[in-house]
Amino acid sequence: RCRYLHHLILEGSGCERGREPGPDGVSSRIRRLLLPPTGPCNEHGENRVTRICSIGGGPGFDHVAISLAAHFLHSVQPIRENNNHRTRSIVTQVFDLYSADWEPIVTALGEACRNEIGNDSCKMTNHFADLRLSSDGALLDAVAIVDIVVFQFVLHENAAHFAVRNGRFVESVLNDVLETAKVGSFIMGIDSSHALWPILKNTALEYGWSCTNDQDLNPILFGPKSFIILERECICVTPIHL
């Protein structure tokens, strides 16, 4: 799972099938969130932080994948004499039904990741969430401020708990996440099947998201076979029924 997400970020050209990779592909736009910041930051270093929400992220594989991707992007940048070449800090909130069981592993893995990349400001915290419920306040509070939401092998596993009407999810935590996320944020989903991507896409379009999936992009070597990337372009106060 770590490899799937890592390769989707770094190897995904974001280009349509039959086209050459370009700087404006969706994966390229995600990578911009992980590049070392060059502008001035306040005393809290806030413009150096990329915030992640990992849904069903268990032991923390999403955090590791994104932290390693950011570390690589930092390592290949030219060193500047003015010392503006700062590492991007990845701050991840992991939400999982079995958060209590994962807690010691999340703590150990987070520490190992910081030691590996040499960035003490990369942090991972563990939280409870039950996707079978229609809403989760703590999860939505996180979704409202993060830059990237990730879920791997979650959608189809919980499909029985998501109501579908007219080809769209209704009254589910997915609807709440799509409605709450900020403009400019991304949702990256990886799963074992394409079956529910059309339903998720139809639902996301109503909330102002654009969609790219594995049917649109060139194959990614050693990457996920089934994935979807959503990018929020605008806020629709009332969902648009297409």
Residue 143 token pair: 């979704």
- Note the pLDDT of residue 141: 94
CA distance 13 to 29: 10
pLDDT at 115: 86
Q: In what order do the strands lie in the sheet with 209-213?
A: 123-128, 89-96, 49-55, 148-152, 186-190, 227-232, 209-213
Q: What is the pTM (predicted TM-score) of this model?
A: 0.86
- Which are the contacts of 136, defined by CB distance < 8 A and separation ≥ 6? 95, 129, 130, 173, 176
* Burial (0-12, 13-18, 19+ Cβ within 10 Å), 99: middle
Cα atoms found within 13 Å of the Cα of residue 136, Cβ hemisphere only:
19
Q: What sign does the dihedral 218-223-227-232 (CA atoms) show?
A: negative
Q: What is the pLDDT of residue 214?
A: 67
- CA-CA distance, 202 to 182, in Å (whole number)? 19
Answer yes or no: are the C-beta atoms of 74 and 37 closer than 8 Å.
Answer: no
User: What's the pLDDT score for residue 18?
Assistant: 46
What kind and span of H or E run contains 117? helix 99-117
Dihedral of CA atoms 26, 159, 101, 70 in degrees, nearest 10, equals 0
pLDDT at 58: 85
For residue 26, which phi and psi values (nearest 5 degrees)?
Answer: -65, -35
Which positions of the chain have pLDDT values less than 70?
Answer: 12-24, 38-47, 79-85, 214-218, 237-242
